[in-house]
Structure 1
Amino acid sequence: MANGNGALSGAVIAVAGAGGPAGRATLRRLAEAGATVVGSDNDPERLAEAVDAARYARGGATVTGDTVDLLDLRATREWATRVEKDFGRVDGLVHLVGGWRGSETFTKTSLDDWDFLELLLIRTVQHTSLAFHEALQRSDRGRYVLISALGASRPTAGNAAYAAAKAAAEAWTLAMADYFRKAGAAGELSSAATILVVKALVHDAMRADRPNAKFAGFTDVKDLAEAIAGVWEKPAAEVNGKRLWLTEQP
Structure 2
Amino acid sequence: MADTDVMDGVREFGRPRAEGSAVIVTGGSRGLGRATTLRLAAQGCDLAVCGRDAASLKAVAEEVRALHGRVLRTERLDVLDESALAAFVRDSAAELGRVDGLVTVAGGVHGTDLRATEPSDWDRTCRLNVTHPAIALREAAGPLAETGGSAVLVSSVSGWKPAPPAQYAAAKAAQIHLAASLARELGPRGVRVNCVSPGSMLIEGKGWARLRDEDPEGYRRFEQEFPGGRLVDPRDVAEVIAFLLSGPARAVNGANIPVDGGQNAPSAYGY
Contact 2:23 2:48 in 1 (8 A): yes
The code of the aligned residue for 2:153 comes to L
Structure 2 residue 160 is the aligned partner of structure 1 residue 153: yes
Cα separation, 2, equivalents of 1:36 and 1:71 = 25
C-alpha distance in 1 between matches for 2:241 and 2:96:
21
* Residues in 2 aligned to 1:237 and 1:230: alpha-carbon distance in whole angstroms: 10
Q: 1:49 pairs with 32, 36, 59, which one? A: 59
Question: Do the aligned residues in 2 keep the contact of 1:7 with 1:33 (CA within 8 Å)?
Answer: no
**For each residue in 1:112-156, what CA deviation from the matched residue of structure 2 results, as whole angstroms up to 9, or x when unmatched?**
43133122212212211111111111113x111111112211223
- Partner amino acid for 1:30? L
Which sections of structure 2, spanning at least 5 residues, go unmatched?
1-15, 265-271
Deviation at 1:7, TM superposition (A): 6.5
Verify: 1:17 aligned to 2:24, yes or no: no
The equivalent of 1:32 in structure 2 is 42
Query: Which of residues 234, 244, 250 in structure 2 aligns to 1:231?
Result: 244
Matched, 1:169 2:182: no
Aligned-CA RMSD value: 2.5
Q: 2: CA distance between counterparts of 1:69 and 1:230?
A: 27
Q: Could you tell me the TM-score, scaled by structure 1's length?
A: 0.82
Listed as ranges, the gaps of 5+ residues in structure 1 are: 1-5, 184-189
Question: Which stretches of structure 1, 4 residues or longer, exceed 6 Å deviation after superposition?
Answer: none
SS of alignment partner, residue 50 of structure 2: strand
CA distance in 1: counterparts of 2:188 and 2:70, whole angstroms: 35
**Does residue 245 of the first structure (1) align with residue 245 of the second (2)?**
no
User: Taking CA–CA contacts closer than 8 Å with sequence separation of 6 or more, which of the two structures ends up with the larger relative contact order?
Assistant: 2
Letter in 2 for 1:144: A
2:144–2:150 contact (8 Å) kept in structure 1: yes
Residue 73 of structure 1: how far off its partner (Å): 3.4
Give the 3 Å change call, closer, same or farther, for CA 121–16 of structure 1 in structure 2: same
Deviations 1:27-82 (A, max 9, x none): 111110110011111332332222223323x2422222122342333322322222
Q: 1:103 to 1:44 in 2, by over 3 A?
A: closer
Q: Which amino acid aligns with 1:177?
A: A
Aligned counterpart, 1:139:
147
Matching of residues 161-200 of structure 1 within 5 Å: 161-183=167-189, 190-200=190-200
Question: Does the aligned pair in 2 maintain the 1:103–1:110 contact within 8 Å?
Answer: no
User: Take 1:7 and 1:236, find their aligned partners in 2: how far apart are those partners?
Assistant: 12
Letter in 2 for 1:51: A
Letter in 1 for 2:24: A
Distance in 1, matches of 2:235 and 2:27, equals 16
**CA 1:76–1:116 in structure 2 vs 1: closer, same or farther (change >3 Å)?**
closer
Partner amino acid, structure 2, of 1:26: T
In 2: Cα distance, 1:198 partner to 1:22 partner: 9
Distance 1:102 1:149, change over 3 A: farther
**Distance in 1 between the 2:39 and 2:235 partners?**
8
- Residue 3 of structure 1 is matched in structure 2 by none
* C-alpha distance in 1 between matches for 2:96 and 2:29: 21
1:191 positional shift: 2.4
2: CA distance between counterparts of 1:249 and 1:232? 24
Give the 3 Å change call, closer, same or farther, for CA 46–122 of structure 1 in structure 2.
Answer: same
Provide the residue aligned with 1:186 in structure 2. Answer: none
TM-score normalised according to structure 2 size:
0.77
Report whether the alignment pairs 1:113 with 2:126.
no
- Within the candidate set 51, 56, 71, 1:62 is matched to 71
SS in structure 2 opposite 1:93? strand
